[in-house]
Amino acid sequence: MRLGPELILAGALVGAAALLIHRRALRRERQAERAFPPTGQLIGPPGQRIHAHVEGTGRDVVLIHGASGNTRDFTHGLVGRLAGEFRVTAFDRPGLGWSDDLGPEGGSPAAQARALRAAARELGLVRPIVVGHSYGGAVAMAWALDDPDSVDAVVLLGGATMPWPGGLGLWYALTSSRLGRALIVPLVTAFAPRRKIDEAMRVVFEPDPVPADYGRNFAAGLTLRRKVLSENARQVNELRPHVVDMSARYGSLNLPVEIVHGTADTIVPAEIHALPLARLLPGAVLTLIEGVGHMPHHAAPDDVVAAIHRAAERADSQRQTRT
C-alpha cells in the first residue's frame, strides 16, 4: 500500500516532464516554421505536397538534396550560379523541408523519385538534368532507372549510390526506433543547443569550412522538427537495401552521368561509392576533387557547374547521334 502514492507521484512527474518537453519542442518547431517559410510553391493537395523552389530560365535542371537537408542547401549558392543559364528547380525531398512524407513507402528512393517526377510534370519541366547530393544521389539514380525517357542526364555530388559495409552508427539506430522516436527525438527538438548544431555542420563540411552565413540560412530548425527527424532517420536506415537492388541495374543506364566526389569525403567515401559506380556505368565521367569533403557544391562550385554544363552537352550530343 505504501508504494501507491510513490507510484502516483512518479507517474505525475513523468507526465509533467513529457508535457514540458512537448510544449518546448512545439514552440521551437513553430519558431522555425515562422523563421523559415517555404521559398517556393507547394505542389499537390495537403498531405501530398512537394515544395519546389524555381529560379531562372532555360534548360531544366533539378536539384535533390541529401539527408537532413532542404532546398536552402542549394539556394545558398548553387542555384544562383545556375539560374543565369538554366531553369533551376530545387525540391524538398518527401518528408523533409516543406514537403509532406509519403507514409510507409517513404524510405524508398524510387517512391521519392516518383513523387518528384509528378511535381516536375506539374511544373512543366522537360527532360531535366537531375542533380543529386548524398542521399539525393540515390533518388536521382532511381529517377533515371525507372523513367530514363524523362531525364536528359544525371549529376551526382557525393552521391550515396552503392552498398556500403557496416552500420550507420548509434544516432540513426536510436532515432529510427520506436523508443527513440518517443524519448530521444522530442528531447533533441526541445533542447538541442546551437553549438551542437554548428558542430554537426562542421562535421558534414570537413575538411572544408562552413560557408559564411550558411548556418543562419540553412534552417536547421526545420530539420529538428520531431516528424522530420524521425522520417529522416527512417529514410537513411532503409536506404541500403534499395541501393543494393539499384546497383544491380546501373549497367542498363544509357544516358550521360557525371560523378563529382571529393577525395576527403568521409561521410560518403569515394572509394565505396564514386569509384565502383564509375566502373558500372557505361556513360559515367568521374571527377575526383582532391582534398574536398562531402559538400562539393559549396567547396568546389566551379567543378559542379562545369559538370552540369558537360552533362547538358553530352546529352545533346547523344540525342543528335540517335537522330
Q: What is the pLDDT of residues 5-25, one digit of tens each?
A: 444 444 444 555 777 999 999
Question: Is pLDDT larger for residue 217 or for residue 256?
Answer: 256
Q: 95: phi > 0 → left, psi -120 to 50 → alpha, else beta; which? A: left
- Asked if 242 contacts 299 with a C-beta cutoff of 8 angstroms, the reply is no
Q: Where are the alpha helices (DSSP H) in 36-146?
A: 72-75, 78-82, 109-123, 135-146
pTM for this model (two decimals)? 0.94
Question: Is pLDDT larger for residue 182 or for residue 210?
Answer: 210
- The predicted pLDDT at position 323 comes to 61
CATH of segment(s) 36-322 = 3.40.50.1820
Where does the pLDDT of residue 179 fall: very low under 50, low under 70, confident under 90, or very high at 90 and above? Answer: confident
- Region 167-173: mean pLDDT is 80
Q: Which three cell numbers stand for residue 275?
A: 569509384
Question: What is the dihedral angle through the alpha carbons of 234, 138, 262, 67, rounded to the nearest 10 degrees?
Answer: -30
- Asked if 109 contacts 139 with a C-beta cutoff of 8 angstroms, the reply is yes
- The predicted pLDDT at position 28 comes to 97
Q: Is the predicted pLDDT of residue 106 greater than 80, yes or no?
A: yes
Q: What percent of the chain has pLDDT over 70?
A: 94
pLDDT in tens, 230-284: 999 999 999 999 999 999 999 999 999 999 999 999 999 999 999 999 999 987 9
Which residue, 241, 243, 278, is CA-closest to 260? Answer: 278
Sheet of strand 86-91: strand arrangement: 41-43, 50-55, 86-91, 59-64, 129-133, 153-157, 257-262, 284-289
Rounded to 5°, the CA angle 100-132-225 comes to: 35
pLDDT in tens, 133-163: 999 999 999 999 999 999 999 999 999 999 9
Rounded to 5°, the CA angle 179-228-247 comes to: 95
**Terminal Cα-to-Cα distance of the chain (whole angstroms):** 87
d(CA 54, CA 88): 6
Q: Which three cell numbers stand for residue 223?
A: 530539420
Where does the pLDDT of residue 215 fall: very low under 50, low under 70, confident under 90, or very high at 90 and above? Answer: confident
Residue 20 neighbours by CB under 8 Å, 6+ apart: none
